[in-house]
Structure 1
């Protein structure tokens, strides 16, 4: 017998699939609907003002207006317009206003600085690199910056890459750029001159492997930082011009920029797996999406990360190979089983195993890195484990080592962290799902993770960010965190008719918009604990996976009931 909740779930899945297929591009990808960002806008405006002042004056004026409209009542800025204020976006936005339009923005800058210093200032940040960056931008703007930052040892690049690769990881480009900013206006002699040349060579090598000239990581904020660094170093004009052209090409009519310019691959992978779990595996339109994802596999090595061919990045077939993105793409491919050509998948799975840390975990960019923001990460590790298990590699030693690492990384309260998503829910949910897929749902570690998720369910039926240490976190649930939790609980063996599952499912269904898609929340981490962003494709993919898991559990229960009867 059908129930109202079951009918609502079926209807929600159908509406979401119709909406997603309606906007799917001809080649199989999906456009990623995301709001523009404070860091992208403020950083790009500063870079263009310093590197292309006359030609880009109209763009920077519109950026100043947009930033003024996006300022929160408390004087600060969040990752996107309307998000709770955070130190890094507030510092960079205030610096942009001071640098570009000091006469007309004095009051806005003063209010921003009052908020920053009331929170302890940049030195209160728990990331020394971000504290240094905040101080550097305040100094660039002629604003008070507490404390003197240590000199960035650019000479490190004079050593063989194997000695600094794991230490710098994905911060290679900003490391060079910030060192250039720090030496702005100072004479460069001796080893520092050699280090400057090495820094320019590293940036050139990185740029040659990007999808677009001047586009470091497809990240407007990072491109802006690199541009400012190049100007500070007196770099060749052609290098500066490419970053300027990249930023000018990506501005929106209202004067704002995204942080990450292109996230179609990672978002499309989440959607493709969500649609598959919701029952559309054999649909020709989903087959086109998988074909497009296969075409984004990187055919070249990425020497700066010592990465072989076979991985994926978030932009396309070039750029920074990313372990989490690769695991997500492979998850969308392996679920198709024999319908999926094997060569791409096999190469991708070998690549994934090759990026495992010696400890058994997975990070994001460089194995065995010492950089806190890269890895090892419970969320990424659990995602890699699920993908490998889905591919039929449950008995692979890499899976066993990964599971052992996860069990040893659990917090006393049963939760896990995620480096690239906020709060305790994503990491805990992914670890629980990995345990469930590995047949370990009854393990004490899995039970502790399940209990932690159940304790975190909110009165509205959803799950939210929990205590992330960021002032202003909304205590209400989000679709993303609820979907992560619901799917994990189902994969761990909780029955679909459990009232807590039904309340979570009802939360997801009720949040669906009239257009069939779901509202995105700022759960994605751009700079850990310092700047979040939203992703419209990820929320849809997570929702479909959760609803698909609910329908699969419901069907399994019905089959079991009929067999008993």
Structure 2
């Protein structure tokens, strides 16, 4: 084995680990450094303008200045300042500026709407829910008329939850809020008017039930964008002032010093779980600092049911011990806990049982509600593969019924080009990579489906040895520059598929990650996380380090195996 290569990998891992441990809080978690977001800011400004215009005037003025400064040269906005423009952030930001001051922001709004028209207008939004959301914000600003829009059937909530839960899933809160806004701007007629009073009460009860499960009053999913939409909806519905005040209070408490807002406030848990598993794979499983991190993760396991999703206790959400339990975050935490076994009070076993209980009847996993028909929830190849890996990490065998059913689903749901998608990460690299890891872990690396996935992944390799999202044609999925996250996913997948460490494509990926490491020992995060599928992305400041360490740890293990088998890494 080349000692130079080995030394570089060891030094990189040690540098990253010590920097991360230095940043770790005494409680065991890591603070998440991520940029603020266009949707979070625009939504909060619109909500405060409608629900709290006088008291929040200073916040509104400061936020509007930030929003204008984040506009790109072409007139558009991406998920964060400077990101590739996407339709939803551009429409919402333009509508908000027009709502705040149509004369003062006239030029900014004109440039944005010109860009939207040049990209096909709202007709280019293939998701009906997102198209309606965009039209609603334009209507709030007086730029669109909701008359004649497809009516949101709020009376659905008058039925037993088991009849609507799978259809609405995690969109319950925005579904109610959008119905309230629509009714204000385009009042129901006929039978809809007769049912409105009962439907309105059912909607208010649903929002109250969601809010009761949150970590902070007025915070819906810890998501400033969603809080803003709900706040506007409550205002339009003439909801009790206390409910509106709680949403306003949440937004006022989460504004940043520069006048902007994050999309998601509480992403420390998912990022921390990535970091904890990355450090374990890098050789720090028994380090007392990592023990403390696992204690914090175990303490965030939910001990209460979440009725809106019909979820029992035992899962994890991104915010902490309360909030929205979901399968992706839970699988990530379980993988972080698994290297140390059951060192706590049974959290690992309970979590594994919880994850198995949330599997779809078909064998896949979505994200929030099993067997949902909502496309933006599931089933998801990435979440399914991550859940398979979590179960295998927890001691299940490849022949375990839950694992077997998931693998069978993955084997029969490959794209024609060989790749796999992910609901919560852009492009095809993440989903294809995780599917390959699942196949490799289960002894299926030689299966024709796995070979096609590897070929698809290798086709996406860039000339400099890195990976980006691949050629997807989706705004925001810029295929030209690689990211550390996507390159790390790909490197670990290629190794899991059986490629040796001395393969030039494997070595090139590792070299690229090593070269991308910053002087402080960490890596620059890319805009790879989806907030709204294919329509709005964000940057998570922690997962990049966990993914890089997992990949380098796997590479180091493969180098050692090559040495043991007598192969030299060239």
Same fold (TM over 0.5): yes
Assess if the C-alpha contact under 8 Å between 1:433 and 1:488 holds in 2. yes
8 Å contact 2:147–2:186 — kept in the other structure?
Answer: no
- Alpha carbon RMSD of aligned pairs, Å? 1.3
Query: How far apart are 1:541 and its partner, in Å?
Result: 0.5
Shift of 1:336: 1.4
The Cα offsets for residues 452-488 of structure 1, whole Å up to 9 and x where unpaired, read as 1112111010001112322462512111100000001
Distance in 2 between residues matched to 1:120 and 1:88, nearest whole Å: 13
Partner of 1:366: 369
Rounded to whole Å, the distance in 2 between the matches of 1:533 and 1:520 is 10
User: Does 1:48 find its partner at 2:48?
Assistant: yes
Q: Is the 8 A contact 1:122 1:146 kept in 2?
A: no
Q: Equivalences for 1:505-520 in 2 at 5 Å?
A: 505-520=510-525
Contact kept, 8 Å, 2:146 with 2:186, in 1: the verdict is: no
How far apart in 2 are the matches of 1:156 and 1:383? 33
Q: Secondary structure at the match of 2:412?
A: helix
Gap runs ≥5 in structure 1: none
For residue 21 of structure 1, report the CA deviation from its aligned partner. Answer: 0.4
Does structure 1 retain, via aligned residues, the 8 Å contact 2:139–2:146?
no
Please report how far the alpha carbon of residue 304 of structure 1 lies from its aligned counterpart in structure 2 after TM superposition. 1.0
Unaligned runs of 5+ in 2: none
Q: Does 1:201 align with 2:208?
A: no
The answer for the alignment partner of 1:242 in structure 2 is 246
Separation in structure 2 between the aligned mates of residue 191 and residue 115 of structure 1, nearest angstrom: 40
TM-score between both structures, scaled by the size of structure 1: 0.97
CA positional deviation for 1:557: 1.9
Task: Give the C-alpha shift of residue 123 in structure 1.
Answer: 2.3
Per the alignment, residue 392 of structure 2 pairs with: 389
Look up the match of 2:70. 70
Q: How many residues align?
A: 561
The equivalent residue for 1:118 is: 118
Q: Secondary structure at the match of 1:217?
A: coil
Match of 1:97 in 2: 97
Instruction: Quote how far apart the aligned CAs of 1:449 are.
Output: 0.9
Aligned counterpart, 1:343: 346
- Aligned residue for 1:302? 306
Give the CA deviation at 1:396. 1.5
Any idea what the Cα deviations from partners look like across 1:422-453, whole Å, max 9, x if unmatched?
11110000000000000111111111111111
**CA distance in structure 2 between the partners assigned to 1:102 and 1:288 by the alignment:** 52
Alpha-carbon distance in 1 for matches of 2:382, 2:481: 22
Answer with 253-262 or 183-192: which moved more: 183-192
Give the match for residue 231 of structure 1. Answer: 235
**Take 2:147 and 2:507, find their aligned partners in 1: how far apart are those partners?**
53
Matching of residues 474-553 of structure 1 within 5 Å: 474-553=479-558
Q: Aligned partners of 1:34 and 1:440: how far apart in 2?
A: 37
Matched residue SS, 1:35: coil
TM-score (norm 2): 0.97
Q: Distance in 2 between matches of 1:145 and 1:513?
A: 50
Aligned to 2:149: 149
Question: For residue 413 of structure 1, what is the aligned residue in structure 2?
Answer: 417
TM superposition shift of 1:559: 2.1
Indicate conservation of the 8 Å contact 1:460/1:476, yes or no.
no
